[in-house]
Amino acid sequence: MFNPLTTPAKTEFNMAMLEFAITGAIFAAVAGVLIYTMIRYRRRRDDNGRQEPPQVYGSNQIEAAWTVIPILIVFVIAGVSARSVWGVEDASPPKNTMHVTVIGHQYWWEVRYPFYNIVTANEIHVPVSHDREHASYFELKSDDVIHSLWIPELGGKTDLIPNRVNHMWIDPSEPGIFWGSCTEFCGVQHANMLIQVVAQEPEDFNKWVAAQQQAQPVPTEISDGQKRFQMAGCWACHAVKGTRFNGKIGPDLTHLMSRRQIGSGVLDNTPANLQAWIVDPQQAKPGCLMPGSKLAGKNLDDLVAYLETLK
């Protein structure tokens, strides 16, 4: 959050720094006077304890000062806060804004691009916005309990609340991969509900979109791995576009291999990790909603081989 890369993040950062400076100055002044007084008027050896210091009653100047200055500070902070909140929450996105729907689940993120007909998980790809015209606009929803999305470099936290739609927008000024996480306790695997925002140059982003829009080709012959996918019941929760597998409960797997992580950020997406994950997801992510399977040997290899074709 100390490296803000979007307009909302910069607004929040500037506001936070201003308030930090004001409260820091107050702290320094109060603590300074306090420490000075403690040392200057400490008990001395020749102090018999009976002398009373001079008693001062009423001082118009001092009272005016400690009334007026705090009021001014409150007005400044209130004004700056109102302007910042207005800027961050500005809910009228420019025309070219890209819309993304982010849905919180226990314990992963569903990411949909309604205009591009893309469904993915745990990774939000957005174009770099060299001007505010190409901002990305998120609609935040929840499928179960309250979650909260926070990508520190890209802006403050916004909750995902059941039966409600919240919004946030980002316009990253440079490409990069930015980690975020769920910041509202949502269950046992709350801490492992990570997300990545991949900000790409517009041409790279367009390539990603084109690749994600592809359905998986209809095979002339069903592979052993596809049979396994069906017989093990993977399709009950997971969808693969272009096939009959259309589960809606878990992450869409159409382009699983394009993602860097599995399990919402707990494991790198490697064949060995996929295998371990399929056999016992509870090992890497105890309490996650995916059950383990009894697959082993060739059956497991076939299934992983099939998943690896989902580029």
Beta bridge partners of residue 194, listed in sequence order: 181
Task: Write the binding mask 184 to 203 for ligand CUA: x where contact by CB under 6 A, - elsewhere.
Answer: xxx---x--x----------
Give 128 or 182: the residue with its C-beta nearer to ligand CUA.
182
Give 186 or 307: the residue with its C-beta nearer to ligand CUA.
186
Give 190 or 238: the residue with its C-beta nearer to ligand CUA.
190
d(CA 20, CA 71): 17
- Provide, for the chain, the percentages of residues in helix, strand and coil under a 3-state DSSP scheme, each rounded to the nearest 5: 40, 20, 40
Q: Minimal CA–CA distance to 148: which of 132, 171, 164? A: 164
Cα-Cα-Cα-Cα torsion 119, 7, 11, 265, nearest 10 degrees, comes to 30
Residue type, 281: P
Task: Write the binding mask 147 to 166 for ligand CUA: x where contact by CB under 6 A, - elsewhere.
Answer: x-------------------
Region 225-244 residues binding ligand CUA, contact defined as CB under 6 A = none
- Report CA-CA distances (Å) from 272 to 229, 262, 305, 306: 17, 12, 11, 14
- For residue 155, the minimal CB distance to ligand CUA (Å) is 18
Q: Among residues 182, 234, 239, 267, which is the contact residue for ligand CUA, using CB under 6 A?
A: 182
- For residue 254, the minimal CB distance to ligand CUA (Å) is 23
d(CA 187, CA 177): 26
Region 41-100 residues binding ligand CUA, contact defined as CB under 6 A = none
**Could you list the residues that contact ligand CUA (CB under 6 A)?**
104, 107, 147, 182, 184-186, 190, 193
